[in-house]
Structure 1
Amino acid sequence: MAKLASDVGEMAIRHISRTRRLRVRQIQADELWSFVKVKQKNVARQKVQEVGAGTVWTYLAICSDTKFIVGYRLGARKLADARAFYQSIRDKLEVDENGQLTQRLEILTDGLMAYDEAGEIVFGDEADRAMLIKQ
């Protein structure tokens, strides 16, 4: 059963990475916290130091209409990773002969400020961006 789950996971990742020319109206993006090997607070206490151990964030973009996973990225909650995440999304969208999006995009995120600057860098005025901040 574990082999089947691994195969399905690999197929899904391969499918997402090969997807191109999507016509998406609205994307919901968020990030999930996790860790590799140990939590960040315990990295220094490891008996054997391992590169990459500690906190990792998974950025995830989902089409609001179809629930299709448009993109993902592993990284930190920093501008560089948010920008690369947005760029990977934009690279999958349908563009015209001038490189402009063929359909205006709406992006809804949480309050992570890196999304705001990354959205301006990657999408400029080609996408409407909003943040939903929970109280």
Structure 2
Amino acid sequence: MANVLPLAKRVQILNLLCEGVSLRAISRLQDVSINTVSKLLVDAGETCLDLHDQLVTHVEAKNVQCDEIWSFCYAKQKNVPTAKAAPAEAGDVWTWTALDADSKLMISYMASGRTGSAAETFMQDVARRITGRPQITSDGFTAYPNAVRVAFGKNVDFAQLVKTYGPDFGAGPERKYSPPVCTGAHKVVREGNPDQSKISTSHVERANLTMRMGMRRFTRLTNAHSKKYANHLYALALFFMHYNFVRQHKAHKLSPAMAAGLTDRLWSMEDIAERIDVRANVPKPRGPYKKRSEA
């Protein structure tokens, strides 16, 4: 296949995608077309979605923290009505994350709206990946208690950390670019008997910073936002596969997947690139067949 980039070149591009470099900047740095970079992102994203489903299961997580981080696709929600040729998925996109506070493994992630039904779908995915009885802490979003109840029943110790914020004073730049000051937080037990000392969202909130630094489309106040929802999801899949299996966490000098017992070695980006090739070489169905959406 003469048009396939060498493995070393693809590995470089994938590493840049996980280090906060934009698609067009990668195109310039690697001297390849923007379409080549986009195609590799799609292939990598589909592969990493499959790998996450296959590998991140039966996680013995005792202390799970959940949060949602905001971004948008094509245009901010308030601008969608006047946006030109806005696709159906345009507007706010919330990335739901569930982090094992001990191993730092990203157990589950989902890009969706910030709704009750999204919360239920997300927590059900978390529940199917975890073994045993976990302690879960979320922020104060009102959809969490019912979502956790639906997903875990009574087999969970669940609490919310509800934060309070001061008034939003000022009219200058500091008001526009700085959030209101957090004036306090109180712990609310929702289910079971959670350990009070572990009711926290500090680790998952720190993971939000890692996401914003590692994915260009999460950078605020730029034109680097996602233009397609699918590409947003593919970027998440590649980033979290790299984060879980390739990147050593400074807290324990292991990859989160190693710390969680999901693998006995540190993966490399070459491992991911090779699995993209394997997936691409799987024989396609021949003859009449139904599309997945029609089956």
3-state SS of the aligned residue for 1:134?
Answer: strand
Of structures 1 and 2, the larger Rg is shown by: 2
TM-score scaled to structure 2, two decimals?
0.40
Counterpart of 1:133 in structure 2 is 162
Following the alignment from structure 1 to structure 2, what is the Cα–Cα distance between the partners of residues 107 and 5?
33
Counterpart of 1:78 in structure 2 is 115
Structure 2 counterpart of 1:51, which letter?
A
Counterpart of 2:74 in structure 1 is 37
How far off is 1:3 after superposition? Answer: 3.8
For residues 101-112 of structure 1, what are the structure 2 equivalents within 5 Å?
103-112=132-141
How far off is 1:49 after superposition? Answer: 2.8
Correspondent of 2:53 among 17, 36, 43: 17
- Where in structure 1 are there 5+ consecutive unaligned residues? 95-102
Deviations 1:10-64 (A, max 9, x none): 4654443222111110100000011001000000111213110000110000001
Structure 1 residue runs of 4 or more that deviate by more than 6 Å after TM superposition = none
Counterpart of 2:146 in structure 1 is 117
Following the alignment from structure 1 to structure 2, what is the Cα–Cα distance between the partners of residues 54 and 106?
33
By percentage of residues, which structure has more strand? Answer: 1
Structure 1 counterpart of 2:122, which letter?
F
3-state SS of the aligned residue for 2:140?
Answer: coil
Following the alignment from structure 2 to structure 1, what is the Cα–Cα distance between the partners of residues 16 and 136?
31
Aligned CA-pair RMSD: 1.9
- Where in structure 2 are there 5+ consecutive unaligned residues? 1-11, 18-39, 165-295
Say if 2:74 and 2:86, in contact at 8 Å, map to a contact too: no
Following the alignment from structure 1 to structure 2, what is the Cα–Cα distance between the partners of residues 12 and 50?
25
Counterpart of 1:63 in structure 2 is 100
By percentage of residues, which structure has more helix? Answer: 2
Counterpart of 1:91 in structure 2 is 128
